[in-house]
Amino acid sequence: MLFNSFEFFVFFPIVAALYFLLPYRYRWILLLVASYFFYMWWKVEYAILLVISTVVDYVASHKMSQCVTKRQKRKWLWASIITNIGILFAFKYFNFFNGALRDLFVSNGANYPIGALEVILPMGISFYTFQTLSYTIDVYNDRIQPARHFGKFALFVTFFPQLVAGPIERAKHLLPQFDQNFDIDYVRIVSGLKQMLWGFFKKLVIADRVAEIVNIVYNDPTSYDGLTLLLATYLFAFQIYCDFSGYSDIAIGASRVLGFDIMQNFRLPYLSRSIREFWSRWHISLSTWFRDYLYIPLGGNKVLKWRWYYNLFIVFVVSGLWHGANWTYILWGAMHGMYLVLALWFRSFWEFIDRSIGLSSEQRVYRWFNVAITFHLVLFGWLFFRSNNISDAFYIIKEIGSMRFEMNSTLKLMDKIGPGIFVVTLVLSSIFIIVDPFIDKVCKGEKRFEGPVLNYLFYASVLMLTLLFGHFGEAEFLYFQF
């Protein structure tokens, strides 16, 4: 089920009403049934994957708790890892690696007998796989005790607000909340609804409107000039931000309505002053997952310098692969890994330059210069992320570099979109860029409007704009494909 669907606008109020009407001890059952219903609305048979992952990890965690030595525990940990990664590989990566092998064999004149699997990528498989893997790894490392209640553990795996696109929660944070009795709290519920509304605005008014322009241009890049391709690249940066952070806002807001606290996933990432800071603000639940379960186990920065650089680079290559079975994602991850390695490599040099010319990181001009540089490095990465293949990416780079402008190219795009919609999309996107830094903090309770009138006026305006300009075509969220 999509958040931006009519079905969800019926489903969520019913679930919320029943949740507060039911006695506390039965609420987990309602949420578990609702979560499976939410997922099975998309494809019923793929719910079996959730069941397999839940049963294997529950059993593995309890078996680990009965083991005396790490060696005994390790076999159960590997049972969990192999099961979860095996499912992920079969549905998401088999055809990619199998296709690469086929191309290698064919290029050398050999036959390759293994065909592709005819499967559909299960929605959100990378998210719930990583969430449940973090649980078994934490049990193995004695960070948490195994969940005693199978039903509540199943709810942790399938909790519908964040099931298919995160945030990727940790058992230590979310599981204990299923034992709490949340009463109706008007302030909390209104706060959750406000964050949901802002998330719907991001998705329906900005991301889905901008997507029309981006998809037309990027799906046929040879038909457009360099400036149009550059415009589409800038727009994609805000499409992916509004689409994914919009989903996170809806998930966090819906959870808050029910009383649950799930982690923030975005903190104004395009205001970052370095790539390192960007990754502390963008998809926080994933970047911290890789930090805790891959980067640190590899040795982190507690190793020789060359190994430290290797650890950073390999983590981001894996992160790229996590996003999708395509060379464009792998190259995107490798680029970010290289950004971080080069930043460390040249850190002393840049610090020397800063001291020599008397620049301070607190000076406003210097801060915004760093923000601009960081944003455009991220933008360059998004170009590969969005391109359908590597060839398209390099063609787009070449055309943007030429700065070629053809009026026919712009007119062609406006004709496909519609001149009015094209202008409105650009205007609304520009307004969003200006107001988002403030509204983002308002939704998170870090700032507030002065006076109730301004508060009601703003959210009434957001609701009106969403109803008037929202794209209600039930477009999937971008990260569902990951």
Handedness of CA 182, 187, 188, 190 (dihedral sign): positive
pTM higher than 0.85, yes or no? yes
Q: Residue range 89-99: average pLDDT?
A: 88
84 and 132 Cβ atoms separated by less than 8 Å: yes
Q: Estimate the share of the chain in helix, then strand, then coil, as percent rounded to the nearest 5.
A: 75, 0, 25
DSSP codes, 338-369: HHHHHHHHTHHHHHHHHHHHT--TTSHHHHHH
How many percent of the chain have pLDDT more than 70?
A: 94
Confidence of residue 310 (pLDDT cuts 50, 70, 90): very high
How many percent of the chain have pLDDT more than 90?
A: 57
Which of the following is catalytic: 62, 149, 323, 471? 323
Q: Residue range 49-58: average pLDDT?
A: 94
**pLDDT at position 441, please?**
85
Q: Rounded to an integer, what distance in angstroms lies between the CA atom of residue 49 and that of residue 119?
A: 13
Among 220-224, 278-282, 355-359, 450-454, whose mean pLDDT is lowest? 355-359
| Average pLDDT of the residues of the chain | 89
Q: Residue range 209-227: average pLDDT?
A: 91
Q: Which residues contact 158 (CB under 8 A, 6 or more apart)?
A: 32, 35, 36, 39, 50, 54, 128
pLDDT greater than 70 at residue 356: no
Confidence of residue 352 (pLDDT cuts 50, 70, 90): low
Confidence of residue 372 (pLDDT cuts 50, 70, 90): very high
Q: Rounded to an integer, what distance in angstroms lies between the CA atom of residue 365 and that of residue 382?
A: 26
Q: Residue range 143-165: average pLDDT?
A: 93
Q: How far is CA 39 from CA 6, 124, 413, in A?
A: 15, 9, 37
Q: Residue range 430-452: average pLDDT?
A: 84
Q: Rounded to an integer, what distance in angstroms lies between the CA atom of residue 118 and that of residue 95?
A: 9
Confidence of residue 360 (pLDDT cuts 50, 70, 90): low
- Catalytic residue list contains 336: no
**pLDDT at position 410, please?**
78
Confidence of residue 444 (pLDDT cuts 50, 70, 90): confident
Q: Residue written as tokens 């290698």? A: 104
Backbone dihedral angles phi then psi of residue 143, each to the nearest 5 degrees: -80, -30
**pLDDT at position 479, please?**
64
> Domains of the chain: which residue ranges?
6-181, 188-273+361-481
**pLDDT at position 364, please?**
63
95 and 117 Cβ atoms separated by less than 8 Å: yes
Q: Residue range 360-364: average pLDDT?
A: 59
Helices (H), 358-451: 364-386, 390-402, 407-417, 419-443
151 and 112 Cβ atoms separated by less than 8 Å: no
Q: What is the pLDDT of residues 193-210, one digit of tens each?
A: 999 999 999 999 999 999
Higher-confidence residue of 102 and 152: namely 152
Q: Rounded to an integer, what distance in angstroms lies between the CA atom of residue 62 and that of residue 266?
A: 34
pLDDT greater than 70 at residue 274: yes
Confidence of residue 458 (pLDDT cuts 50, 70, 90): confident
* Helix 364-386 × helix 226-258 angle, to 10°: 100
Among 96-110, 258-272, 369-383, whose mean pLDDT is lowest? 96-110
Confidence of residue 226 (pLDDT cuts 50, 70, 90): confident
